[in-house]
Every structure is written in C-alpha cells, then in structure tokens.
Amino acid sequence: MQSKTPKISEAVVRRLPIYLRYLQHLFDMNIRTVSSHELGQKLDMNPAQIRKDLAYFGEFGRKGIGYEVIYLIEKIKQILKLDRTIRVALVGAGHLGIAISNYNQYLKENLTITAIFDTDPKKVGTSIGAMNIYHLDELSAIVAKQEIEMGIITVPAFAAQEVVNKLVAAGVRTILNFAPVTLKVPANVHLRNADLTTELQSLAYYL
Amino acid sequence: MQSKTPKISEAVVRRLPIYLRYLQHLFDMNIRTVSSHELGQKLDMNPAQIRKDLAYFGEFGRKGIGYEVIYLIEKIKQILKLDRTIRVALVGAGHLGIAISNYNQYLKENLTITAIFDTDPKKVGTSIGAMNIYHLDELSAIVAKQEIEMGIITVPAFAAQEVVNKLVAAGVRTILNFAPVTLKVPANVHLRNADLTTELQSLAYYL
DNA sequence: TAGATTGTTAATCGATTAACAATC
DNA sequence: TAGATTGTTAATCGATTAACAATC
C-alpha cells in the first residue's frame, strides 16, 4: 500500500479516521455500499476530496457503484496501521491523564495504553484499571519490555520537555502532547499538540 | 481592530494563542522585546509568517527593534477577546468532563467554566469545585442567566448531537466537541472538534 | 442500454515563504 | 550612520475543487 504513495499530507491522514468512524457506523446499520457523494453529505466534505484522499492509497471503489463499506473499513485500518496492536505509554497521572486512561479502556481499534508513568510516590505502584503506574525513571525499561510505540504527555507544562526527551530517548517516535507548551523534538519524531488551552483561546476569537 | 481585517483564516487565529503563550513566558522572564526571528526559532515557525499573522490586526512592532512583549500580549488578548470574562458551559460530567473542569480552575485568561450539565440523577445537584452540576433540562435557563457564550461537549458520541442542538437552541454559538462523532450545526455556529480518538488513530499512520 | 460513480487531470483557491523598501 | 527588523508585496508552494473520460 504505502509502496506507491507519493507524499501524503497530514491533512489527508487526519481525515482517514473520520471516514473510518462513519463507515463503521454504516456497517453497524447494515449498509453495505456508500458513494463519495453520500459520505460527503454526512461528513460535510467535498466528494472529490474524499475520492482523492482514498485514491492516494489505492483503487478501493467501483465506478458506477461506490465503495463497499466492509472492504473500505479494512483498507483504512491497514493504512492507519490499526490492523495490529499498538501499545501506548501515558505520562502524567493527573486528572487529564486518568481521564484518558479510563477512556482508553473503552477504545477499540487496537490502540491500547499499557503503562502509565508519574513521579508522585503516592501514585507510583498503584494502578488504573489494568494499567500500572510506574515511576518515570522506569520509562525506558518498560517501553522496551512492553514494546511501546506511542506516547501521550499529560504532565504540567514545566515538566513536558523533560518527559518528551525521555520518551524520545526510550525510542518512542510518535507522541501526542497535551501540555500547553511548544516542545522541541528531533526531526524523525512525530509530535502532535492537542492542547485544550490554545484550542479554547482560539475559539474565543469567534465569539 | 477587527474593523480593517479582511478575511482571517482559521490557521492564523489558531497560531495567536501560541504566540501569546510564549510572550507570557518571555514576560515572566523579564524580557521586554522580541523579534519575529527569535519567536520563529523558539516556536518552530517562519518569521515572515509571524509578522504577517500579526500584521492582519495592526502594526504592533517597530522596525529595527522588534515587538514590545507587554504591548503585544495586550494586543493579542484583545484580538482573541481574552480581555474580558468569557463564561463556558461544560456538558457531560464523565471522566473527561471532570478532568477538564478541574483543569479549568487553574486556567487563566478570563475563560471560565461556570456550569456543568449532565442527566445522571446521581451527579445532578452535586458540584466540582465552585461549579454546580445541573440537569441538562436546565441548560437554556442557566445559559441565559449566567450569560454563557461557549460550550464544551464531553458526552458519549450517541448523545452529542442532541446536546449540541440544545446548546445552539440556548444561543451558544461557539462550541468545542470532544465526542467522537461528526455533528451538524447551523452555519452561524462555530464548532471545533477535539476528539482524542481520531487524533490517536491518525498518529498511528506515522509509526 | 442509460444512469451512476469512480479515479484522475486540470483549474482554482488559499496559505506559506521570500524579498525588500521603509525606518527605527 | 550602519545594522536590524518590520510591514507588505510578489513568488512559490500546496491543498481543494471541478470536470470528465472510463466503466460498472
């Protein structure tokens, strides 16, 4: 699949989970086939954009018919690497970290938080659901042992750069940061910011 | 300020809080002046982009000198309407909702959650910090009474469309949605999605 | 067959970056 | 003054949308 991909923009990649989500909804409703036009209406997107996005990865539809729902779900899962288990470390067992950890237990799609890290002695050694809370000093060892590939940062802003450094040193190359600070990472690390504060502040503009 | 703005893209607006955050950091460190070049280095952005973004709203810098930190902070706050109190309603007192509500108590910048809504009789009537939890049926009345202008949705996906309908009916025009579903809103409502699931799923692509 | 819809090329639109005169 | 840096125009780059031949 990835073999014949030219350069896929992040905008395209970020739309794929939205397609996937709606396709799964269609599947649950026993709808077997869908056109880019129908998808576009439901998802508020241009049908040409949907076709173009999918066409980057292969020919998944049938002219005159549309896309077979179950087949397209399979394909998008493959593209997003959601066809295998991906283990995730979460660093920072505060309110937000705990909320995400709990949320994780309901998540499907093979993305699973397997270890939580903190530095608070009162939290280290306890657990949230099936997830143990380890000391941050154990990060590197646990990441290696559990074959963790992704990291989520939910520590306060002042601690975030140190945490991301440790994740990178431990070999984690894909990181979602909730701390309200701009972090520096090497070019081969994929860092995404998902900071609530900046989100709300930018929304205020539209009041 | 807004008077002479042509059309400001969302990309520009979303960068303003990032500038603001770093400027406040500079202020805390007693740095009085900064150039677009320095900002660009620290924030991993192109200096021309920073100058252009700011120039949409006025002439805030001085040629040969740069930008006065304290003045630019004031200006960005004005642009983002963070120079007055903005009251926010949060709907859905689950793990994520509670985490955000707690987080809110540490938030500055005049953005403040003043009411929480849920339908669970066990939660309604209790409170989180200074925020009371009301029944969803009271939404419209409380929004009017407290002059709430913004909404945050942290209910499960199946309930989100109904909640956003009620927020819109109550007059809320700016909404941040954490539920993993595409919502329909009238054109005059500004809805932003901040869904953790799609964020993580799209990141998996880069593994 | 006729109608529908894809995959893809071309056209358009918009956002980012470079360049530089103005000027502190 | 000389060096630095803005504000802004022009150039470039990239993403979205329209159009349509291919074909189910």
Domain ranges in chain A are 2-79, 86-202
Which of B16, B99, B111 is opposite residue A99, by nearest beta carbon?
A: B99
Superfamily of segment(s) A86-202: NAD(P)-binding Rossmann-like Domain (3.40.50.720)
Q: Please state at what angle helix B47-55 crosses helix B10-28, rounded to 10 degrees.
A: 100
Q: Looking at residue A69, what is its pLDDT?
A: 98
Distance CA A166, CA A150 (A): 13
Which of B99, B152, B206 is opposite residue A95, by nearest beta carbon?
A: B99
Q: Looking at residue A3, what is its pLDDT?
A: 38
Q: Which residues of A touch B88 (CB under 8 A)?
A: 200
Q: Read off the pLDDT of residues A83-133 as tens digits, 9 standing for 90 and up.
A: 999 999 999 999 999 999 988 766 667 899 999 999 999 999 999 999 999
Give, in Å, how far the C1' of C16 lies from the CA of B48: 9
How far B188 CA sits from the closest chain A CA (Å)? 10
Q: Read off the pLDDT of residues B113-168 as tens digits, 9 standing for 90 and up.
A: 999 999 999 999 999 999 999 999 999 999 999 999 999 999 999 999 999 999 99
How far B79 CA sits from the closest chain A CA (Å)? 7
Assigned CATH for A2-79: 1.10.10.10
- Do domains A2-79 and A86-202 share one topology? The answer is no
Q: Read off the pLDDT of residues A149-190 as tens digits, 9 standing for 90 and up.
A: 999 999 999 999 999 999 999 999 999 999 999 999 999 999
- Using the CB atom, is residue A37 less than 7 Å from strand C? yes
Q: For D14, which residue's CA is nearest its C1'?
A: A9
**B55-64 as b/e: b if 16+ CB within 10 A:** ebbeebbeee
Which of B21, B81, B96 is opposite residue A103, by nearest beta carbon?
A: B96
B4 pLDDT more than 50: no
A4 pLDDT more than 80: no
Q: Which amino acid is residue B58, in one-letter code?
A: G
A1 pLDDT more than 60: no
At residue A3, φ and ψ (nearest 5 deg) are -55, -45
Q: Looking at residue A203, what is its pLDDT?
A: 96
By the 10 Å C-beta count (0-12 exposed, 13-18 middle, 19+ buried), B176 is classed as buried
DSSP B25: H
How far B127 CA sits from the closest chain A CA (Å)? 16
